Amino acid sequence: MISIYTPVFVYLAASCRLSAVILGLSYILGNQAPDVEKSSSYECGFESFGDSRSPFDVRFYLVSILFIVFDLETMFLFPWSIVLGDLGALGYWTMIDFIVELLVGYLYVWKIGALEWS
């Protein structure tokens, strides 16, 4: 049974070796002389201001959660589209229901203005 997974193990070993070689070569051949400008902290191309521990606006968290939700929707749509022929009508309408529920949630978030930046 382990012979079934031999190509996977070979691929894993080859990718680990290649990663180690690339990492080693970049360390050996790369420029290891950081200067003051390279080591300074920056934020969006300009000098940072204020404390880095200041609270963030809740809209940053809301946008990131919305991104995760719609990213997961895409992750569910790919396998569904591949096996759609085997699922039949129930599988089709279940996914349509899923998409409609996400669309209603998106429209609600849009309506309350959570995506507006002021």
71-102 pLDDT, tens digit per residue, is: 888 888 888 888 888 888 998 999 899 889 88
Q: What is the mean pLDDT of residues 21-41?
A: 81
Query: Could you tell me which residue, 91 or 40, shows the higher pLDDT?
Result: 91
What three-state secondary structure class fits 97? Answer: helix
Query: Residue ranges per domain, the chain?
Result: 1-30, 58-118
- Does the pTM surpass 0.85? The reply is no
Sign of CA dihedral 92, 97, 102, 104: positive
Q: What is the mean pLDDT of residues 59-75?
A: 82
CATH of 58-118, one of 3.40.1110.10, 3.40.50.2300, 3.90.226.10, 1.20.58.1610: 1.20.58.1610
Task: Yes or no: say if 59 and 114 are a contact pair by the CB < 8 Å rule.
Answer: yes
With a cut of 60, say whether residue 43 has pLDDT above it: no
Q: Return the percent helix, strand and coil in the chain, to nearest 5.
A: 70, 0, 25
Separation between Cα atoms, residue 83 and residue 96, nearest integer Å: 15
Return mean pLDDT, the chain: 83
Range with lowest mean pLDDT among 5-9, 48-52, 74-78: 48-52
**Maximum alpha-carbon separation in the chain:** 64
Q: Which residue has the tokens 């409609």?
A: 100
